[in-house]
């Protein structure tokens, strides 16, 4: 089997769908980094999902940090995880280490509109 093929995506076989996600290059993995919008944002922008970016405010929906609202520090596309401020584990020696949260377990509550291109795209879609 080839390392990566766009044909994996159209397959019904879970094995091939997993292979597609696992072997996907970064420009395609960027599409996997989309998260659901909160009800208010969804109504405002007429969208269900939006690409996650550094600086966005998110709510953790699953796991031990469920319900926590925090800001995205870093996104790891290779692992499809996000590093969030304040979401960290305490180690035995007392130090703290960041806890990566899977992107599918997040919901956007506030969008970082510092990027003019992103702002125009959202505003443009909103007016149509």
What residue spans define the domains of the chain?
1-32, 33-127
Spatial distance between the Cα atoms of 74 and 15, rounded to a whole number of angstroms: 29
Residue pair 82/99 in contact (Cβ under 8 Å)? The answer is no
How big is the chain, counted in residues?
128
Residue 60 CB neighbour total at 10 angstroms: 20
pLDDT (tens digit, 0 to 9) for every residue of the chain, 128 residues total? 567 777 777 888 998 888 888 999 999 999 999 999 999 999 999 999 999 999 999 999 999 999 999 999 999 999 999 999 999 999 999 999 999 999 999 999 999 999 999 989 888 855 54
> The domain 33-127: what is its CATH number?
2.30.30.30
Residue pair 37/50 in contact (Cβ under 8 Å)? The answer is yes
Q: Enter the pTM of the model.
A: 0.85
């Amino acid at each position: 089997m080839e390392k990566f093929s766009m044909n994996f995506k159209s397959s019904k076989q879970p094995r091939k769908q997993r292979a597609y996600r696992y072997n996907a290059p970064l420009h395609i993995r960027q599409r996997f980094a989309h998260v659901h919008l909160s009800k208010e944002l969804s109504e405002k922008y007429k969208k269900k999902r939006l690409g996650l970016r550094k600086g966005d405010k998110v709510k953790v929906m699953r796991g031990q940090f469920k319900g926590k609202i925090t800001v995205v520090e870093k996104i790891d596309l290779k692992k499809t995880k996000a590093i969030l401020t304040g979401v960290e584990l305490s180690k035995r020696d007392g130090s703290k280490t960041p806890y990566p949260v899977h992107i599918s377990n997040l919901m956007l509550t506030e969008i970082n509109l510092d990027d003019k291109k992103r702002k125009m795209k959202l505003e443009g879609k909103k007016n149509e």
